[in-house]
Copies of this chain bind each other. A is one copy, B any other.
Amino acid sequence: MNFELDPVIHAPNRLQMCCMLAAVDTIDFATVREALDVSESVLSKHVKTLEEAGYVKVRKAASDGRQRTWLSLSKPGREALKGHLATLKAMMAGVPET
């Protein structure tokens, strides 16, 4: 068995973020930041990493006065996450009581 985990996704904060994004259509920067409990600079860099991998799409839009950044998983991002989670599940498969 060749378990290939995508390093872009596997980092804890990005994994959590990708799972959050996968569950919704779009979510804003601030909400993700609070969920991950990291600084703005750190989230900004993770978003950039995912964006450069083509996994996340970023849209800036001013909603009711204040500008916000909206994040969403791209199609390739969803596929990559699906593959990643499948790999994780395959690894877990042999572990008892899971």
In the complex, 12 of the A-B residue pairs with CB atoms within 8 angstroms, ordered by the A residue number, are A5-B15, A16-B91, A19-B91, A19-B92, A19-B94, A20-B94, A22-B96, A23-B95, A23-B96, A82-B97, A85-B92, A86-B98
B85 x A95 contact (CB < 8 A): yes
Give the shortest distance, in Å, between A13 (CB) and chain B (any CB). 9
Bound Cα distance from A50 to B13, whole angstroms: 22
A15 x B91 contact (CB < 8 A): yes
Chain A interface main SS type: helix
Chain B positions within 8 Å of A22 at CB level? 94-96
Chain A 1-24 near chain B by CB (<8 Å), digits 1 or 0 = 101010100101001100110110
